Structure 1
Amino acid sequence: MSPMEKAIGQTYQSTGHLAKLLPSGTVLSFQLLAPTLAKQGHCCDMNRMLTGGLVMLCALSCFVLSFTDSFRDEEGKVRYGFATFKGLWVLDGGATLDPLAAVGYRVRFIDFVHAIFSSMIFIVIAVFDQNVVSCFYPVASEDMKQLLTTLPIVIGVIGSMLFVSFPTTRHGIGSPLSLH
């Protein structure tokens, strides 16, 4: 392979790692509910509470989903579970995972780093949403506008570098699982 082909291949591989880690289902849910809860940016106190609760609930979802994983059972069916300090806790009680294989799914330090950055990236996406901005800051100062413009880029770049440099092997709920 030429250096250019290697670089393109690495770019696609890195993009694949990012696609696995970004909370697309949570973001979709947020984008569906936020305009209604934020009342198109024309909020009262109740709307601010509901919108803030939605942001926190979705950020928590991003954090928790970072610890999900999947495997194929003996029949080839995909099974899901949560990574624990002892191994994988299978959600489907009918399926079992060999105890030696389950140990390979233990929680690692990098899982917490990925969970934190995944939540941070979601919060940045949420705060960048125009309905949320208008709800919480109807008249934003120049400093706030600058922060809302810069923060998503900075967090996105740092998170992307982290996810690409330290990829996860987890195949969480909704992530594709290879046939092998």
Structure 2
Amino acid sequence: MAETQHLLIASLPEAPRKPKSKVQKVARKAFKGTAHLSNLLPTGSVMGFQIMCPVLTHQGQCPTVASRWLTCFLVFVCAVSCFLLSFTDSFRDPRGKVRYGLATPSGLMVMDGTIALTEEEKEKYKLRFIDFMHAIMSMLVFFAISMFDQNVIRCLFPVPSEDTKELLTGLPFIIGVVCGGFFLVFPTRRHGIGSPLTKE
């Protein structure tokens, strides 16, 4: 019975597709570009920051100078990890297992070293100038996220002036818009550590 239904459905002529309007095309492109924004930050860096920040800042109180320094160190380390993880990439080996590597000027250096890539594959994964731009933008976006975190703000700026408040409100937004626009125009092709890898 199920086979018959499947054959009947397969034999039906395809319904003609209506051409998409300009609004639908723009919306589709915007949603596709927004999906690329998920590759902006390695999820492990952001999650590590969100877990450690309340602990190191004592819920934003920062009772000692050491807690302020530790908070700055946490933001710095997470930003650097966002920068460095932008140079990682992944691929599926012939058995379908996901392999990770580090992009270099000569190609992808596979982390476990058991797989040798062909020259064509090496060329595909070579380090390019745009990778550095993505890494810088990724780090800036992380700084913007950390500037939105109230624990960090209360710790580093316990009594902010009006100018500081305005800067802390506007700067992350500007960074987000600029970096988001950059990633919409120049989406990353890398699927590094912490980024999803498609089945293809």
Bin the TM-score by the shorter chain: over 0.9
TM-score (norm 2): 0.86
Q: Distance in 2 between matches of 1:29 and 1:77?
A: 26
Report the aligned-residue RMSD: 1.1
Once residues 160 and 174 of structure 1 are traced to their aligned partners in structure 2, the CA distance between those partners, rounded to angstroms, is 19
**Partner residue, 1:158:** 178
Alpha-carbon contact 1:23-1:122 (below 8 Å) kept = no
Aligned equivalents of 2:129, 2:92: Cα separation in 1: 25
Q: How does 1:9-28 map to 2 (within 5 A)?
A: 9-28=28-47
Per the TM alignment, residue 164 of structure 1 is displaced from its structure 2 partner at its CA by 0.5
AA at the equivalent of 1:21: L
- 1:53 is aligned to 73
Structure 1, unaligned runs of 5 or more: none
Deviation at 1:4, TM superposition (A): 2.2
Name the residue aligned to 2:125: 105
**Given the alignment, which residue of 140, 151, 164 partners 1:131?**
151
- Give the drift of 1:113: 0.6
Map Cα deviations across residues 114-137 of structure 1 (whole Å, 9 max, x no partner): 101110110121122111111111
Return 12-21 or 54-63, whichever deviates more: 12-21
- Cross-structure match for 1:122: 142
Partners of 2:44 and 2:25 lie apart in 1 by: 31
Alignment partner, residue 61 of structure 2: 42
| Counterpart Cα distance in 2 of 1:15 and 1:24 | 16
Paired positions, count: 180
SS at match of 1:48: helix
SS in 2 for 1:41: coil
